[in-house]
Structure 1
């Protein structure tokens, strides 16, 4: 056996061991990738299921609150009927219904009928006298009378060519028999807002459907979907109803569109409302869109794994030959990183000009160059500004005009070609260049040069050059100089960005107008809006009312349960009121536990009705751990020409009167 064969065998054995180790490592990596992808897929599906159902619940909660408010309003109308019926009281009844409908977002029409279906009073005058006996929202209570039942009519097309449904209660006569109905017709625009607010993906659909299967609304709008009957055998709607579960998630072909979808279904039929028919919220997404990121990640990781296999195989073949080269590059890279850290540290205690001088000195040291310069390039890419020479250049070579010199790119030397080519320029025989230009008086003589551009957002922002190295500049020199030029600009740009950010933060701080605790307008913002709204009300001769409210005995909450509990109460009160008032009402924290609500187009009576609703809502709310509280309200209407201070003082007087009269009440002034 020859020594050569022994060496070859050892080399072959070592190579085999390397390949075996690589195969095992790649198999392990492949297994980990496969496991991670499977886990990611399961997590993606699970998270999307949870997210869809969460959105369905949010919609359901909003609809339930609307149903509860409407049910209370209908019961209130029924209890007040003895004082509203009769020809002499119909005008008062119409006004009461109008005020009630205006104060309730989501309700478009509100009326009551006699036993024959004739509309006796309504918030819309054109409806009075019409007969609705043929409508299902009348015939259903008539045929199955129950004063405790809240009747939900199937969606039907209104005179405005939009699908609506009615929420109805039976009016019991003295003997308890059917004596007519009081009904509220929903406002489709309100429910569109609810559905629109929960859309979080372009492929998502939100729908509201009647318990009998008739689709009420789809968002985004799709032609032919409203009014469609989903209660057909095998449909996802039917499968949901047959399951007997209030919530379901299916991934299958949707009957309504024929498209493959992931669908979350939620049945809304609270026991306390005693609804005759439920509403079903359906939210769906395209499964391909849901899994798109996962598929892309799987493809990416698969390609990455394939590239890893190919690259690692090639790397293994070149390992021994390139090991020394890698070590050398690693040392150079470490030196570059070390210089970067030095520049960062230097920048913390020196000016930008001092940093440039220091950076140039380091670049010249690394590249063995006695000459170095740094120019900024104007945004138009047509002019340059000399920012700095290296220390050695100034001391030994260059007496030409320096810092701040501004001139066009076309006036610069051949080194400026890096601006046109957007790449490093290396001239190792400067004297032989045919297009070189003369040097200014006192300029350092040029033997050879290396110039690199710094590029940000497709623009050249700076140019760094070195010159007169003892031997030729190489590609490695260009890479290292480019890296340090880029690092220098990065630090300079960061310093500029910090100054701009500081200025922006100061500007934002002066413009802040939101109360940090409750998230509603603060007093400063309210003052500005009050001026605008009072001017608008006077300009259009429109009523404008102010509601001022104060939490009763709020100090006791802070004293007994702590300021955290007090903050929680303030936040929940703001949340409750924000969810109940109109979008154009102006709600602000006035100070401490006081709030104000500016209600355009509401007179004192209408504002007082709203205040009473809010007072009752807050009184009934459980703030946690059995904590309850009440509010006192002062209401007044703006008088054109009076100062804002008088307007506010009058509301405050009414609030004081409410406090004086026992709290938990509404007073007007």
Structure 2
């Protein structure tokens, strides 16, 4: 197993590695985030610049159209008074439309919508009273207003819109209407000229949100209503700004885009409705290079993770292997030392402390008892008739009996107490930190002694021989005065031999500093001399 220090070291190494990888990842994210923001800012500025180019060209074209319409109205007053005025007016309109490539068709109409003159002979005499560009003029006739119609499909099958002006009688009634149909192809060329990427598209819409032109051509989108709640067109119009750049979803295609929009309605042209031009790019295309670079950096980071994690795992596995060898050698050394220590301080049969370890613990407990003012007790246990058990049942059964008795005695005491084997069939139980009152301490020790007596009597092997195997236990207290541990052990030994003299299978307590004792078994006790320790 790894030591605690090595485990903590490995944990720290992993924490540092993870932190390093996270720092690298954070640095890459910040770097890519800054680059992405830079790309977006640059693209917004570029789109805004392109839509501004269209707006400038549209302003000039609309101003020229307004001037041409005003000129046509003035000329019509003169041409209408001439016998061949209609033919001259038609030629005039034809020359104007040819000189102005942004105008496809020019019409002079009566207030009732009847075409009086046109650059296209097939339209003369047609009735366009229901057209939006006629009805809007009649609803609010104003000679200074340039009317911008809703996009519509002309009788010549072209999707376009008209710009219209009106002249009035002195009483304010409409006199004549002049209208110019804008050429979507001309504006398509203008819109195409500012495209600098294949994914880029340009669109022009009426101020009411109807799509008028789209480059690249998308016939299915013409006439689409862009004025939907939350659309980019609606956001632009609601902003009140002349120019905006938004990101979002295109209302016509559902594509995620970056779009610059600009409202075309110069105040001096007095347009009743504005036009809105938009330039957009797919966000996916805008950030395609950035995305590829990000994927490459992410792949490199993953490789870094795999290499660093693999290297760390290999290094730590190698380190654990080397530490394992060192620890195995250390464990072998410790096992050898433990075996030596066991032989020096423990009984090889039962594993209990031997006489040397017992005396050492007695010295420590004696000092602790003196400091605390608490008594301790020593129980000297000697088995009765154990030789008969060995002779009749064999030494292997005798050893089994001793080992089982050792475990039973350990179960009778606390963890802080000590059970030791002095040799043969002699055991010592040391009870630490009893009551400070001698009577109570004697009572506590006697309870343990009675348990041990019962354990010996109840053992199955003890009753298989005659006489039955039993125990003689001598008890003495210590810890209330300084004395040698050998004296304490000798006193307990004397108490135990008095039990044997009194008939065995009992408990005797010998007070410290006196030769008085008390008996816990029935039967007469003698006051005569006591045999020395170790007597049979």
TM-score of the pair, normalised by structure 1: 0.42
Q: List per-residue Cα deviations over 1:315-354 (Å, max 9, x = no partner).
A: 999xxxxxxxxxxxxxxxxxxxxxxxxxxxxxxxxxxxxx
> Are 1:117 and 1:180, in contact at CA under 8 Å, matched by a contact in 2?
no
Partner residue of 1:222?
Answer: 218
RMSD: 3.1
Of residues 59, 66, 69, the one that matches 1:71 is: 66
Distance 1:273 1:102 in 2: 23
Partner residue of 1:39?
Answer: 34
* Cα distance, 1:232 vs structure 2: 2.9
Distance 1:112 1:51 in 2: 42
Q: Which residues of 2 match residues 180-219 of structure 1 at below 5 A?
A: 180-219=176-215
* Cα distance, 1:108 vs structure 2: 0.8
Distance 1:58 1:148 in 2: 27
Change (3 A) 1:288 1:315: same
Partner residue of 2:151?
Answer: 155
> Are 2:256 and 2:284, in contact at CA under 8 Å, matched by a contact in 1?
no
Distance 1:235 1:22 in 2: 48
* Cα distance, 1:27 vs structure 2: 6.0
* Cα distance, 1:200 vs structure 2: 2.2
Partner residue of 1:109?
Answer: 105
Query: Is residue 2:59 matched to residue 1:50?
Result: no
* Cα distance, 1:164 vs structure 2: 0.6
* Cα distance, 1:219 vs structure 2: 1.4
Distance 2:222 2:184 in 1: 11
* Cα distance, 1:265 vs structure 2: 2.3
Of residues 271, 275, 281, the one that matches 2:271 is: 275
- SS of the aligned residue for 2:259 comes to strand
Q: Which residues of 2 match residues 222-621 of structure 1 at below 5 A?
A: 222-308=218-304
Distance 1:164 1:191 in 2: 11
Distance 2:221 2:33 in 1: 37
Of residues 63, 86, 90, the one that matches 1:90 is: 86
* Cα distance, 1:184 vs structure 2: 0.8
Partner residue of 1:415?
Answer: none
Partner residue of 1:644?
Answer: none
Distance 1:291 1:312 in 2: 31
Query: Is residue 2:130 matched to residue 1:173?
Result: no
* Cα distance, 1:65 vs structure 2: 1.5
Q: List per-residue Cα deviations over 1:475-530 (Å, max 9, x = no partner).
A: xxxxxxxxxxxxxxxxxxxxxxxxxxxxxxxxxxxxxxxxxxxxxxxxxxxxxxxx
* Cα distance, 1:107 vs structure 2: 0.7
Structure with greater Cα Rg:
2
Partner residue of 2:404?
Answer: none
> Are 2:93 and 2:118, in contact at CA under 8 Å, matched by a contact in 1?
yes
Change (3 A) 1:118 1:20: closer
Partner residue of 2:56?
Answer: 61
Distance 1:46 1:226 in 2: 30
Distance 2:19 2:235 in 1: 49
Q: List per-residue Cα deviations over 1:441-494 (Å, max 9, x = no partner).
A: xxxxxxxxxxxxxxxxxxxxxxxxxxxxxxxxxxxxxxxxxxxxxxxxxxxxxx
Partner residue of 2:477?
Answer: none
Change (3 A) 1:289 1:170: same
- SS of the aligned residue for 1:64 comes to helix
* Cα distance, 1:19 vs structure 2: 11
- SS of the aligned residue for 2:84 comes to helix
> Are 1:113 and 1:121, in contact at CA under 8 Å, matched by a contact in 2?
yes
Aligned residues: 307
* Cα distance, 1:74 vs structure 2: 1.1
Where structure 1 has 5 or more consecutive residues not aligned to the other structure, the ranges are: 1-12, 318-669
Distance 1:28 1:230 in 2: 46
* Cα distance, 1:22 vs structure 2: 8.8
Distance 1:219 1:141 in 2: 30
Partner residue of 1:555?
Answer: none
* Cα distance, 1:72 vs structure 2: 1.3
- SS of the aligned residue for 1:258 comes to coil
Distance 2:121 2:158 in 1: 20
Change (3 A) 1:252 1:20: closer
* Cα distance, 1:24 vs structure 2: 8.0
Change (3 A) 1:265 1:314: same
Where structure 2 has 5 or more consecutive residues not aligned to the other structure, the ranges are: 1-8, 314-536
* Cα distance, 1:20 vs structure 2: 11
Q: List per-residue Cα deviations over 1:133-155 (Å, max 9, x = no partner).
A: 22111111111011110100000
> Are 1:251 and 1:263, in contact at CA under 8 Å, matched by a contact in 2?
yes
Distance 1:228 1:29 in 2: 49
> Are 2:69 and 2:179, in contact at CA under 8 Å, matched by a contact in 1?
yes
Query: Is residue 2:127 matched to residue 1:131?
Result: yes
* Cα distance, 1:309 vs structure 2: 5.8
- SS of the aligned residue for 1:109 comes to strand
TM-score of the pair, normalised by structure 2: 0.52
Q: List per-residue Cα deviations over 1:357-380 (Å, max 9, x = no partner).
A: xxxxxxxxxxxxxxxxxxxxxxxx
* Cα distance, 1:217 vs structure 2: 1.4
* Cα distance, 1:273 vs structure 2: 0.5
> Are 1:121 and 1:128, in contact at CA under 8 Å, matched by a contact in 2?
yes
Partner residue of 1:516?
Answer: none
Change (3 A) 1:208 1:31: same
